[in-house]
Amino acid sequence: MSLPTEWVEKIFHKLTLAYGQDFLNRWKGIPLAEVKTDWAHCLAGVVDHPEAIGFALLNLPDSRPPTAQEFRALCRQAPQVRHELLEAKKADYTIVAEQLKKMGLSVTADQSDSNRDHKRWAKKLKARHEAGETLSLVQIKAYKTALDLVEA
């Protein structure tokens, strides 16, 4: 998606203020609307990062006005915005146990892993499938794999 026309207009305004006729004369003889369209296409990658345009405008070269490609390169030098991650709260065991109970699952501390049927989910899927329920191919493959029913 090309850069919005209003953004290109603001960039051109700022570059004209910074460089004056040196900027505008770079495209002397070429319709300015075509130049701006080219800039909009060239800067399409920064649509989702407007802060990069601000960075580029604050770090313009002193020597000469940039081309669209040089301006895009300046935008790419902008530091990445880092978002702080929120610390996850610990789940309240009583609430978790209550919700699991509502779902028909039990959470007891005395259940050991050796007493659990870890393939119960696969057996349930197989039973549903054999009862005529339509399952996705992924579900069928998953229960068959878990129950070693897949032909090699």
Q: What is the pLDDT of residue 112?
A: 59
Residues spanned by the domain of 59: 5-76
Residue where one domain finishes, among candidates 22, 53, 76: 76
Whether residues 68 and 123 share a domain: the answer is: no
3-state SS class at 146: helix
Distances (CA, A) of 123 to 9, 104, 146: 64, 17, 9
pLDDT of residue 150: 76
Report yes or no on 86 lying in a domain: no
User: Which stretches of the chain score pLDDT less than 70?
Assistant: 105-114, 152
Among residues 76, 99, 131, the one where a domain terminates is 76
Q: Domain count of the chain?
A: 2
**pLDDT, tens digit, for every residue of 31-44?**
999 999 999 999 99
Residue 140 has a pLDDT of 93
Any domain includes 110: no
Residue 24 sits at the vertex; the CA angle it makes with 20 and 29, to the nearest 5 degrees, is 150
CA-based radius of gyration for the chain: 31
pLDDT tens-digit readout, 137-152: 999 999 999 999 877 5
The secondary structure of residue 117, as a DSSP letter, is -
DSSP result, 47-107: TT-HHHHHHHHHT--SSS---HHHHHHHHHTSPPPPPPPPPPPPPPHHHHHHHHHHTT---
Q: What is the pLDDT of the chain when averaged over all its residues?
A: 88
